[in-house]
């Protein structure tokens, strides 16, 4: 059974930093692209970033480009999202999601339960 478990969400001040983690199990982690998708309170879904299985093929949304860094450690079955220069509008539940293929993220096949990031002073 595929499982994705996010952690690291917290309350942080504007301008601060945070690192999210997502541990995968039940599949060969390094063989699939992985993504972060977020959902602001009461709002819809917004794709944030995608990283291919090999560690190349990185994509970011314009809203986080230059502030967030996606990475992965396949030996630990873990995906990361380093979030810098956080803004109030980054407040959201952050989901990690598994792609059905190694490169890119055509679709988000499996999702974790999410971790809440709150940016507020």
Partner 1 sequence: EIVLTQSPATLSLSPGEGATLSCRASQNIYIHLAWYQQRPGQAPRLLIYDATNRATGVPARVSGSGSGTDFTLTIDSLEPEDFAVYYCQQRNSWPRTFGPGTKLEMK
Q: Which of residues 28-57 bind partner 1 (CB under 8 A)?
A: 35, 37, 44-47, 50
Q: By CB under 8 A, is residue 112 in contact with partner 1?
A: yes
Min. distance of Cβ 13 from partner 1 in angstroms? 27
Q: Which of residues 7-26 bind partner 1 (CB under 8 A)?
A: none
Indicate if the alpha-carbon torsion angle 68, 92, 97, 107 is positive or negative.
Answer: negative
Q: By CB under 8 A, is residue 113 in contact with partner 1?
A: yes
Distance CA 7, CA 52 (A): 21
Min. distance of Cβ 25 from partner 1 in angstroms? 16
Structural contact between residues 64 and 50, judged by C-beta atoms closer than 8 angstroms: no
Q: By CB under 8 A, is residue 62 in contact with partner 1?
A: yes
Distance CA 86, CA 75 (A): 29
4, 53, 108, 121 from 1: Cα distances, Å = 10, 19, 16, 40
Residues lying near partner 1 in the complex (CB under 8 A) are found at 35, 37, 44-47, 50, 59, 61-62, 95, 100, 105-114
């Amino acid at each position: 059974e595929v499982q994705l478990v996010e952690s690291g969400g917290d309350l942080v001040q504007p301008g601060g930093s945070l690192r999210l983690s997502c541990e995968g199990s039940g599949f060969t982690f390094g063989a699939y692209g992985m993504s972060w998708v977020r959902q602001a309170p009461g709002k819809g879904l917004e794709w944030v970033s995608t990283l291919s299985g090999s560690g190349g093929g990185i994509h970011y949304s314009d809203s986080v480009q230059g502030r967030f860094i996606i990475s992965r450690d396949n030996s630990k079955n873990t995906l990361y999202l380093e979030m810098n220069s956080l803004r109030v509008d980054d407040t959201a539940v952050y989901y990690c999601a598994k792609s059905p293929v190694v490169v890119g993220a055509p679709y988000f096949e499996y999702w974790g339960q999410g971790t809440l990031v709150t940016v507020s002073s």
